[in-house]
Amino acid sequence: MFDPGRKNEPLTTEERWICGVFLVIVLGLFIAEIVDNYQPAKLSALLIVLFWIPLLALHEAGHAVVAALVGWHVGQVVIGAGRLVSAFRIGTALVEIRWVLVEGFIKCVPTNLRWPRLKSALIYFAGPGVELLLALIVLGLVGPDRLFSHSSDYSLIIWQSLAIASAAQGVLNLVPHAVQTKTGDVANDGLGIIRSFFKPISYYAAMIGRTYNEEENAWDEYDPGEWWKREQ
């Protein structure tokens, strides 16, 4: 969440072609499977994949909104991975859209030492939490009897696919694990929640007062030596 480290360089023409061809192949395979012995229910697999992008944006927005609500400074919100496609600012946060829309992260820091462990855990939970909430909303709107039934109704298939995609992403993000990077391991939301309660207060204090420098793609440094004088 805080600084996974990503590149900001624009895409080269070759990279655009590679990504475009890959996307065409994947979608082509889905379409071929749907057309072969076509049944309306087969659309669900394609819809689940298509819902991934808006759910990814919703997931990162959940992290950012809760971080702001608990009083943390949000410096960057990244949707996607790889090279930068577009960037804009919302409040204090620089929002970046990147080419490969399979993951995302936010960078945020505390502004005081009031319950930092709990707040950090809430921020980690907010991403999968908003996805699970969406699944529950769909369940409430459609009803369990219809949502879990086999149907050829296209509108119901859309609702079912959205509920499956959002519930699956929420649950998978809560299963604790870490991804190894060049700078160390990066915890997913589930592991981040757990680690939040075991980090020393000095870890959170060292981040207070930092602001995100978009030109350097990093937090501006400062001397945290007197962190204990900060507001408790």
Angle in degrees, CA 86, 81, 157, rounded to 5? 90
Residue 224, pLDDT above cutoff 60: no
When the pLDDT of each residue in the chain is averaged and rounded to a whole number, the result is 82
pLDDT for 3 equals 40
pLDDT for 211 equals 76
DSSP secondary structure string for all residues of 177-213 = -EEEETTEEEE-HHHHHHHHTTS-HHHHHTTTT--EE
Residues 11, 125: Cα–Cα separation, whole Å:
32
pTM (predicted TM-score): 0.80
CB 181 within 8 A of CB 5: yes
Give the tens place of pLDDT for each residue, 143-199.
999 998 888 888 999 999 999 999 999 999 999 988 776 667 788 999 999 999 999
